[in-house]
Amino acid sequence: MGDNDDIIEHHVEEEMEKKSGRSHAASSSFLLESVDPSDREAHSGTQSSHRLLAYSDALISIIATVMILPVAHTKVEDNEELRQSVQLLLTAKIAVYLMTFLIVSVAWAAHIRLFQVIVRIDDCLALLNLACMMLITFLPYTFSLMATFTDNVLGILLFCGCVMVIGVIQSLIVLYAFSRPFLLNEQIQISENQNYYKHHILQVIMRVPIMCFFASIVSFIFFQLSYVLLAIIIFLPYISQCLKWCRSKAIGQVEDTPDSMLFYTYLPNEPLSKERVEAFSDGVYAIVATLLILDICEDNVPDPTVVQKQFGGSLIAALQVYGPEYLAYFGSFATVGLLWFVHHSLFLHVTKTTRFMGLLNTFSLAFVGGLPLAYQLTHEFPRNSRNELEAIQISCVIIFFAGIFQLAIWVVALYNEQETLHPYVRYGGREHVFMLAKLALYPCVALGTFFLTCILSKFSAQIFHLMEITVPFAFLVLRILVRIGLALLRLIFCPDRPDPRTVVEEEGDETRVPFNALVT
């Protein structure tokens, strides 16, 4: 019965979306009829922005993820201490990867917000967007220069120059779109405050280029402070909101125009396009899964002369040498695939994505992007060595944080569950406990594996590979385990309480029994 109800609910939602689509089309045709003939002719040369946005999301997700390759391909010799090598990596390549991922994600979030205002494009807007994408994809190179030549200001000047030009291009996009209102969001088209919108959006867009301009000047005077200014860019929305709150406490609440809270606010609950968040995330997961096989194709194909001389022409015997690499690949791919599966399940139940949820999703994806590094480390060192133990523990840390930030997205969604979640997964809903168990599985398993490898260091490799093998089977039986656990809790703490599903069927309504009522 529960599954049928879910199907019916989804059908109802689809019908509502179709009706809203028809009403949107009708209103669009009404707006089109109300414009001048010259504007109507220009409108006929426009098209939907869906494909342009899909291309932009794919491009940004690729450029954000491939920066892990220099980190993953850094060779550590057997006679080197992995801990010292990781410390060197953290000061250079890993820091560059994380900063690149976060900065590129900030640029992607700005792109989302811009094209939530602009819903249609023409040839001019498409070309301006391509110029913006070209500069965004150049940002990782500037970061590489900054990491390689830490005492030279050229890298930071190139980065700041790129960001300032990106800001100018985005400002041109805004000015061009507002000069042709039929390209804008319907809500802005019918608004009487279009000029206010335009100035407000331009003001928000130019904040980051202005920060980079100051950082480029400071780099000639005090080099380290320029990095601090660049780091502030990542958290600029939250710093701005905090300063605004402090100002309201000091001088009183400043009244805003009614429209000012609709677009380009710095509130944590400002909506982001759920479809684009999912597309960007899918791109990152797909690229990470693909990068794993590149190392197999590059390093684990034996040379024919070696096969002939050392293995007597037996390819099977030659491939047996690479057994640990194959095991690490399948385990890493399963981890990436299951983290995507959890992410897919989470956003299947989310109805609205907010700015804060997008930030947590970015942190999770940054650690997912580090899984190729974990794959490289887990099979690179001799068995039962100190380096192997530390490599496995680093892999557990990466998996733990990738999963814990997914769980944090769920917690934030529960905080505003009336706006962000479907009713059947809200607190006390039918699927609430199952979704919580699904999200908590990887963080708990990774944390348990980390401590087990600390205690049983001689069996660290076996414990880690056992974890990678058993987790997929745990997902298969998770729903059964959750139902058994709930039944046991109900039997222990509430033996006289009837089954909530039976109560629902008898009453014939949508009354839900909260989970806390079952365990108290």
Burial grade of 132 (CB within 10 A; 0-12, 13-18, 19 or more): buried
| 29 located within any domain | no
**Cα dihedral 170→352→17→261 (10° resolution):** -60
CB within 8 Å of 292: residues ≥ 6 apart: 329, 332, 333, 336, 371, 372, 375
Quick one: how far is CA 102 from the chain centroid?
10
What are the two backbone dihedrals, phi and then psi, of residue 206, each rounded to the nearest 5 degrees? -80, -5
Question: Between residues 119 and 432, which one has the greater pLDDT?
Answer: 119
- Report how many domains make up the chain: 2
Same domain, 352 and 244: no
Q: Are residues 229 and 376 in the same domain?
A: no
Q: Distance (Å, rounded) from C-alpha 468 to C-alpha 331? A: 5
Indicate if 295 and 348 belong to the same structural domain: yes
Quick check: pTM over 0.85? no
Token pair in block for residue 495: 């033996």
Q: Examine the pLDDT at 251 and tell me if it is beyond 80.
A: no
- Shared domain for 169 and 83, answered yes or no, is yes
pLDDT at 340: 93
Give bridge partners of residue 353 from the DSSP assignment. 272
Q: Are residues 246 and 281 in the same domain?
A: no
Domain annotation covers residue 266: no
- Pair of tokens at residue 238: 């939250």
Kindly state whether residue 510 falls inside one of the protein's structural domains. Answer: no
Claim to verify: residue 203 and residue 150 sit in the same structural domain:
yes
Count CB-CB contacts under 10 A for residue 29. Answer: 10
Q: Band of the pLDDT at 473, cuts 50, 70, 90?
A: confident
| Averaged pLDDT score across all residues of the chain | 76
Which pLDDT value is given to residue 25?
Answer: 45
Tell me if 229 sits within 8 A of 214, measured CB to CB.
yes
How many CB atoms within 10 Å of residue 200?
A: 18
Give 174-234 as a DSSP string: HHHHHHSGGGB-HHHHT-S-HHHHHHHHHHHHTHHHHHHHHHHHHHHH-HHHHHHHHHHHH
| Number of C-beta neighbours around residue 303 at 10 A | 10
Q: In terms of domains, do 369 and 406 share one? A: yes
Separation CA 107–CA 163 (nearest Å):
9
The closest of 405, 346, 342 to 370, measured between CA atoms, is 405
Give me the mean pLDDT over the 234-260 stretch: 66
Q: What is the DSSP letter of 80?
A: S
The percentage of the chain sitting over the pLDDT mark of 70, rounded to a whole number, equals: 75
307 inside domain: yes
d(CA 455, CA 83): 19
State whether 357 and 208 are in the same domain: no
C-alpha to C-alpha distance for 157 and 160, rounded to whole angstroms: 5
Rounded distance between C-alpha atoms, residue 325 and residue 298, angstroms: 12
Q: How many CB atoms lie within 10 A of CB 349?
A: 19
Query: Which amino acid belongs to residue 268?
Result: P
Residues 110 and 208 in one domain: yes
Length of the chain: 520
Q: Which domain holds residue 313?
A: 274-492
Cα–Cα dist 64/288, whole Å? 11
395 found inside a domain: yes
Q: Are 57 and 283 in contact (CB under 8 A)?
A: yes
CB 314 within 8 A of CB 307: yes
Query: What single-letter amino acid sits at 119?
Result: V
With respect to residue 198, please indicate whether it lies within any of the assigned structural domains: yes
Let me know whether 460 and 381 are in one domain.
Answer: yes
Weakest mean pLDDT among 45-54, 322-331, 343-352, 376-385? 376-385
pLDDT score for 511: 45
Report CA-CA distances (Å) from 9 to 3, 4, 172, 423, 470: 10, 9, 43, 10, 34
> 24-58, pLDDT tens digit by residue?
444 444 444 445 555 555 555 677 888 888 898 88
For 78-125, the pLDDT digits (tens) are 555 556 666 565 556 677 777 778 878 888 888 888 888 888 888 899
Distance CA 122, CA 391 (A): 51
203, 236, 251 — which closes off a domain?
251
Query: For residue 449, which of 436, 437, 466, 469 has the smallest C-alpha distance?
Result: 466
Nearest-angstrom CA–CA distance, 143 and 158:
9
* Amino acid in position 459: F
Cβ-based neighbours of 341, under 8 Å, separated by 6 or more: 475
> Are 96 and 144 a contacting pair, CB within 8 Å?
yes
Phi, psi of 152 (to 5 degrees): -110, 135
Give the SS3 label for residue 49. coil
Residue 21: inside a domain? no
Using DSSP's 3-state secondary structure scheme, residue 257 falls into coil
Note whether 342 and 488 are same-domain residues: yes
Strands (E) in 240-374, as ranges, are: 271-272, 353-354
Residue 210 shares a structural domain with residue 289:
no
Q: Is residue 285 part of a domain?
A: yes
Euclidean distance between CA atoms 40 and 33, whole angstroms: 8
What are 354-411's pLDDT values in tens digits? 888 888 999 999 899 888 877 777 766 666 677 778 878 888 889 999 999 999 999 8
Both tokens assigned to 345:
């399940």
Does the pLDDT at position 237 exceed 50?
Answer: yes
